[in-house]
């Protein structure tokens, strides 16, 4: 790889990172400004890829179905619906006119598809320079996501799961102690109001404590994330 090729790859990586950031911002907060920035980043990446394809003379697929047909013929497991879904997720980037350079399609297949025989994309076959570039892209994305999570946590939008579980466990413990005290101290009054037999106060306390503890057991169960709930 020449110095010029490395510079071109670096520039494309920068544009892709900018597009990823704009895509996430628009997805989380679809304001007019964020959508405008996404269109701007998408146009910049598309124009760069178009110019690069024209300079290199590589093939260009006119649309997603044409790309899918080519990848399918090349042994990749892909369908139109999957490609459109990946486009919406930002995994497959099209030019502003909907076309896809062959290099973009190949890069997409290597990173997000599997061969029909079940083997993953041959990312391991990339050159050391390309691997280093991809690692840098992943590092930039990870740093950005980490900063975003810290900001959302500091602003009160997110709370660590272990903190929520500790808080709920403490509240459950306090509530259980209070209800136990209520059951023990109120049994006599309940019997009096019900005009019943005071000799059965111990039985009434046991009954009330049983109801309270059953309710508290349900209340104090560990919090489960969405993925865990779906597995059940």
pLDDT of residue 151: 72
pLDDT of residue 78: 92
Task: Indicate the pTM of the whole model.
Answer: 0.35
pLDDT of residue 229: 42
Q: What is the pLDDT of residues 133-145, one digit of tens each?
A: 666 777 777 777 7
pLDDT of residue 227: 44
pLDDT of residue 114: 87
Q: How many CB atoms lie under 10 A from the CB of residue 90?
A: 17
pLDDT of residue 134: 65
pLDDT of residue 68: 92
25 is written with which tokens? 């911002």
Give the angle 160-164-167 at the CA atoms, nearest 5°: 135
Q: What is the pLDDT along the chain (232 residues), one digit of tens a residue?
A: 456 556 667 777 888 788 888 887 877 777 888 888 888 888 887 777 777 666 556 678 889 999 999 899 888 999 999 999 998 888 888 877 788 888 888 888 888 888 888 776 654 445 556 666 666 777 777 777 777 777 777 777 777 777 777 777 777 788 888 888 877 887 777 777 667 777 777 887 888 888 778 777 767 666 554 444 444 4
Beta-carbon contacts of residue 96 (< 8 Å; ≥ 6 apart): 42, 43, 46, 47
- Do the Cβ atoms of 78 and 68 come closer than 8 Å? yes
pLDDT of residue 232: 41
Whole-angstrom distance, CA of residue 49 vs CA of residue 120 = 25
Give the angle 84-90-95 at the CA atoms, nearest 5°: 75
pLDDT of residue 53: 62
pLDDT of residue 130: 61
pLDDT of residue 230: 42
pLDDT of residue 231: 43
């Amino acid at each position: 790889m020449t110095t010029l090729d490395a510079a071109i790859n670096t520039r494309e990586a920068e544009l892709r990172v900018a597009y990823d950031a704009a895509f996430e911002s628009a997805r989380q907060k679809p304001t007019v400004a964020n959508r405008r920035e996404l269109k701007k980043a998408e146009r910049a990446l598309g124009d760069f890829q178009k110019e690069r394809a024209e300079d290199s003379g590589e093939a260009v697929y006119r649309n997603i179905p044409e790309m899918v047909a080519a990848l399918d013929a090349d042994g990749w497991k892909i369908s139109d619906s999957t490609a459109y879904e990946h486009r919406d997720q930002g995994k497959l980037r099209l030019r502003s006119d909907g076309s896809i350079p062959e290099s973009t399609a190949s890069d997409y297949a290597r990173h997000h598809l599997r061969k029909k025989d079940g083997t993953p994309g041959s990312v391991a076959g990339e050159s050391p320079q390309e691997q280093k570039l991809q690692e840098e892209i992943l590092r930039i994305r990870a740093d950005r996501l980490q900063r975003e999570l810290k900001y959302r946590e500091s602003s009160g939008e997110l709370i660590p799961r272990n903190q929520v579980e500790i808080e709920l466990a403490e509240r459950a413990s306090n509530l259980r102690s209070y209800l136990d005290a209520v059951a023990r101290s109120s049994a006599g009054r309940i019997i009096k109001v019900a005009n019943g037999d005071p000799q059965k106060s111990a039985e009434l306390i046991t009954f009330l404590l049983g109801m309270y503890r059953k309710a508290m057991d349900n209340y104090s169960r560990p919090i489960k994330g969405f993925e865990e709930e779906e597995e059940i």
